Amino acid sequence: MQPTPKLYFRDSSLLEFSATVIDARSSERGDCVVLDQTAFYPTGGGQPNDIGTLGEASVVDVFEDEAGTIYHVVEGAGSLNTGQTVTGIIDRVRRLDHMQQHSGQHILSQAFVQACGAETRSFHLGARTSTIDIELQSPTSDLLRAAEDIANAVVFEDRPMRVHLVNEEEAARLPLRKESAVRGDIRVIEVEDFDWSPCGGTHAARTGQIGMIAIRSHERAKKMTRVEFVCGGRALADYRLANNTAVAVARLFSAERDSTPELVAREIQEAKSNKKRIRDLLELAMVAEASEMLAGSAESGDFKIVHAVFEGRAVEEVRVLAAKIVQREPSIALLATKNAEAARLVFARSSSLAQNMGQLLAEACEMLGGRGGGKPDLAQGGGPNVQRVEEAIRDAAEKTKAS
């Protein structure tokens, strides 16, 4: 197949064209149509394809093979036959969006060269944002801001963007930002008095059409810096999103939009110190509760047996309480906490005693229809038979006395 002449090469604003079908066939990507010329951009150079219509059929994908033949993947291809003349219409919104992002990339790439000599190594035009990978080891906010300022100044000046179709010799005389990947005839995109780049993509006619160029974020990527950016309509959509988020956060504080970072930081700090204070108070409360429980418990020889069933208390808290009890004086703590679904048991003993809590707890858990175990001095478990938990604790207390 021959290379397909690309109408967008001369004029990216051409959105409607006439062409003759020279081939129509099925492929693994779907029904494909080849035309004698096309204004549809095929995926390549970091830029996704155009979509649109060919006669009655929808163009859902466009790709180019190594020979330069462009294939239009269409739905409803039954209406297209070889030899037929068709009208192609490019989806305007998607084309404009891609033109804004791609043209913005040329300008941002040159802006980074001017701000810090950082060359662009790759470009990706994504569905929501785009990225360039630039030769920059240590990015700073000031540097990124400087490049962004240079780029937007070029937009605000509404400079012409021109297409030059030149041969290699002519190209060699132009101040190209990067070497051409193609031989022979080379297409060069000029941003007046700013940037010259060999490129096959679709571009704006003037920089004003690109709209705002905004850097969203940056990250290190393979010894380079990956810069995420949005242009034009995407920059407006992203600003709205960011503004809505900031306003929503500010409303929670009944504050001005831009004062929230300090307010949020203060809240986080306060929550941290409150958490520590709660931990300290809980510790004090546990010590007091342990003393009180020990005071009200029966002696069995030279140790005390403390038992209790709590409602809906966190098992972690019950475990701390058990530890406090057995640390204070020679004792065995047989504690449980229950809710509608399950009962949890924590058995503990002082280190001076010899009873096996693991064994005792395993037997109690059996009554609850569950399982559990642990070490001789501390064991934990539970089961679903909530109604038997008091009985299980009483039983364990009896066994302890007998031992």
Task: Give contact residues for Zn ion (rule: CB under 5 A).
Answer: 102, 199, 201
Nearer to Zn ion, 102 or 304 (CB): 102
- Report the length, in residues, of the chain: 403
Q: 80 is written with which tokens? A: 């297209």
Distance CA 163, CA 189 (A): 5
Q: 62 is written with which tokens? A: 């466009």
Nearer to Zn ion, 102 or 344 (CB): 102
Q: Which helix (H) or strand (E) holds 144?
A: helix 141-156
Return the residue matching tokens 């399982």.
371
How would you classify residue 173: left for phi > 0, otherwise alpha for psi between -120 and 50, otherwise beta? alpha
Nearer to Zn ion, 11 or 56 (CB): 11
Rounded least distance, CB 236 to Zn ion, Å: 22
Rounded least distance, CB 268 to Zn ion, Å: 44
Nearer to Zn ion, 164 or 328 (CB): 164
Rounded least distance, CB 189 to Zn ion, Å: 5
CB distance 151 to 107 below 8 Å? yes
Nearer to Zn ion, 60 or 205 (CB): 205
Rounded least distance, CB 90 to Zn ion, Å: 17
Distance CA 188, CA 190 (A): 6
Taking CA atoms, 70 is separated from 123, 254, 288, 304, in Å, by 22, 57, 82, 89
Distance CA 211, CA 107 (A): 12
Distance CA 267, CA 250 (A): 13
Rounded least distance, CB 106 to Zn ion, Å: 5
Question: 224: closest CA among 122, 127, 103?
Answer: 122
Question: 320: closest CA among 292, 360, 372, 279?
Answer: 279
Question: 237: closest CA among 221, 268, 214?
Answer: 214
Residue nearest to Zn ion (CB): 199
Task: Show the DSSP H helices in 44-119 as ranges.
Answer: 92-116
Nearer to Zn ion, 102 or 319 (CB): 102
For residue 101, the SS3 value is: helix
Rounded least distance, CB 202 to Zn ion, Å: 8
Nearer to Zn ion, 199 or 333 (CB): 199
Distance CA 9, CA 202 (A): 7
- Asked whether the CA dihedral 324, 329, 330, 331 is positive or negative, the reply is negative
Nearer to Zn ion, 72 or 102 (CB): 102
Rounded least distance, CB 167 to Zn ion, Å: 19
Nearer to Zn ion, 101 or 337 (CB): 101
